[in-house]
């Protein structure tokens, strides 16, 4: 590799601010904030709005909402049919 053209790679803590989950992974990101990790070492801290710990696709919340929507739609259609049958139409 050419010297001086690649960013420094090291361990960084990423914190998901929406749920508080923290990840220690390798990255080229830098930050002025630091945090002492569970192993006693100090690492740069990067705050994230969304991560795999809180994103609906990874947590399954989006699928649950879709399923609930389908059930509610079915119940609405079924309720309309039962009302028309009870009225004798």
Q: pTM, whole model, 2 decimals? A: 0.60
pLDDT in tens, 31-44: 999 999 999 999 99
The whole-number pLDDT of residue 40 equals 94
Sheet of strand 10-16: strand arrangement: 22-27, 10-16, 42-48, 34-36
The residues, any chain, with a CB within 8 Å of residue 39's CB and separated by 6 or more, are: none
Domain ranges of the chain: 1-54, 56-89
pLDDT in tens, 49-84: 888 777 666 566 655 555 567 777 777 777 766 666
Mean pLDDT (whole number) for 9-28? 91
């Amino acid at each position: 590799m050419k010297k001086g053209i690649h960013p420094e790679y090291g361990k960084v803590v990423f914190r998901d601010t929406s749920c508080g989950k923290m990840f220690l992974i390798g990255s080229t990101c830098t930050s002025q904030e630091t945090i002492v990790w569970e192993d006693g070492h100090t690492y740069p801290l990067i705050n994230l709005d969304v991560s795999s710990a809180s994103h609906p696709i990874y947590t399954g919340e989006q699928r649950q909402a879709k399923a609930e929507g389908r059930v509610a739609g079915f119940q609405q259609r079924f309720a309309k049919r039962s009302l028309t049958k009870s009225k004798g139409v």
